[in-house]
Structure 1
Amino acid sequence: MIPSVLPTYNRAPLAFAKGEGSWLTTVEGARYLDLGAGIAVNALGHAHPDLVAALTAQAGQLWHVSNLYQIPQQQKLADLLVDNSFADTVFLTNSGTEAAELAIKMARKYWYDKGQPERIEILTFEGAFHGRSTGAIAASGAEKMVKGYGPLMPGFKTLPFGDLDALRAAISDKTAAVMLEPIQGEGGIRVLSDAYLKGLRDLCDEVGALVVFDEVQCGVGRSGKLFAHEWAGVTPDIMMVAKGIGGGFPLGAVLATENAASGMGAGTHGSTYGGNPLGCAVGARVMEIVTDPAFLAEVNRKASLFRQGLEGLVASYPEVFEGVRGTGLMLGLKCKAPNADIVAANYGEHLLTVPAADNVIRLLPALNIPDADITEALARLDRAASSLTLS
């Protein structure tokens, strides 16, 4: 008999009742150190007092009115995003998947309004993950994402990851946009070099194609800068964010330049819940905290501390781990042992980590994780690795 919750997830046998900071407590009372943060969502940890206060205050005033009306909380969050990014305008969504759908629509509508409706091709990359809607899975091109779902949305071409020559050969004046994650999350914490991103921007400028960055996982301070593309000194035309922007509340956004958004007038897109007062009140507080230069400096300091410990772990267990990947507090351990075995061993140490492609485990802690919790996490990773070598 099918369960009441559709069985599309291979869930761990853990149910949590409470979270505080970097720790989760199960319904039975066991405590787990969380290095997953809800897959990079709980950017400020669990039950951050500022976010609780923002949500509680808003919940006592107004939950929902729809986008038929002005929403002051939405305006505040949009202004914060514009003031701290390349963007001129923002559309608020409930998720990264919704943001990806709008980014695709925006790029194609741009060319339609320019009198080139046939210019629909969007170049994407092997290993990409942009969500699970029909448009997003077509963008990924991966068999495990698209198998069984019938005809795919046309107009996507998947290229090898990190191969600038392949991009140079594929891009043309028929290309509408190039869409990519500066750091692939689901794909295995794979970081595109600054040189690659600069080269991509130059190639797009040569043919007029739009650059669309997916920073759903790597954005909002996760890389040590507010947005990961800032490390390369390049800017996109359109960008998707979600996950960390809501600090645990479902929230996403599409940021765009005035030019890239020029096709999106009244009636071209909408959302019943997107940009609701509750989500935006929390998102605005997240932005106020994460945009503080002192906060980002601490993310980088903690990242250096954590990475140094992880490099030592790899050196101590060369039969278990191959290397460390990532930027900021978006880190990955490339494994030699099966990553599923390592995730399971970590559970045994009451430590939560997240598997990814390419036999990687992701380490995505809260951006404000205390140093003591980093030290404790490294000790638990060490014990888990040791248990694998002894088994």
Structure 2
Amino acid sequence: MTAATALLTSFLLSPLTQGAIMYPTRSVEVGGGTAVAARSESYSHPTPYDNLDTREKQAVQSGIYHAVDEEVRPLQPLCSSGNCQWQNFSSLAVCSAVADVSDLVVPDQATSSGGGSLGGAKNELTNEARLPNGLFLAGSTTTYNLNISWPQGSPSSSTTSGGGEAYGTDGRGSFLPARTSLAFSQRDGRVSSAIANFFLVYTNQTGELASDPQPADAFRAAEVLLHFCVNTYEASTSGGASTSRVVHSSTLAADNEASSNALVAVRNDASSSSPQAHRVRLHAAGVKGVYSVERGDVELLNRYLLSLFSGTYSYRYGKSGVGETATSEALGLAMFGGGPRGDDELRAVVGNLTTNVAISLTNTQVPWISSLCCCLFYFSTSFFSCHLPL
């Protein structure tokens, strides 16, 4: 290679020269290739449907055990050319909300745990920190640090929470809408579209992390609400790498609400007289399309979520404690296993874990509940431009 050739090659390959060269592109319609993005307008399953789909169960558990400091990625689009761009599109999704209800906690005076009803915590001072709905944590910073539970029909003799019949006297449960919320107004759209809500009562530290084993203001509480929502996504593929992210999320409000925050109207399909079998229709303001869910299908998801999100956690006693479950252990370790955290940080951990559950559920539901939505695409030397119906 001559010196002149080497100099010319170096010039052409330099970043400055590459940036200055204009590559002409031309868009023409073609009939081949694949450019699809997943979206759904309904949550329903083929009948008969008597047990929650295994994939949804796996999605919930995958979200629980996913690293809490890493968010589950939304479903990525498919693009055979390696370079595609979609218009923003909307899809039915699952979202999570976490609210602080610590100001509602009333701890009683410290009492002895007795002869061992709290597992390893024998004859130690504990408080019964109680919410107005009857849920409570019997513990302290040095004994039990977390209880996950949900409002039920009647209290039981449990040492860590209220218990009893989950679905009350009418059998309808607390979903579509949530009827047991403490933090969210009944006029809140998230309550109208609720899948499940549950509560955490916990200490803001553990005995191993603080010098004072029993501070006067050690108890906190939060409500978690999992609900349907309509997410708007921005998706593209460049150089074979696909990205998809939520750019807007709309809540679902109840029918006939005068609130200016009402984004969606909900109507019950009158085609069935059974309160468990009807379809709930969701109309999102500002987002084209009609979304719907089958109440009976949501009931199965509600029951499964509540069966998992319950249990206690003790940083000190671990698996020897009474009432620990796989979920309460995972959440307890995430909250207390990494060292001291402030109140906002503890709630953020809860929010991260439940958001991962919501995204994982969304990813599982979207592709098989509704088919992938094929795009109108155009060939270009740089992009397929995909236009999804909104």
TM-score band, normalised by the shorter chain?
Answer: under 0.3
TM-score by length of 2: 0.24
Would you tell me which structure has more helix in proportion to its own residues? 1
Where relative contact order (Cα < 8 A, 6+ residues apart) is larger, the structure is: 2
Would you tell me which structure has more strand in proportion to its own residues? 2
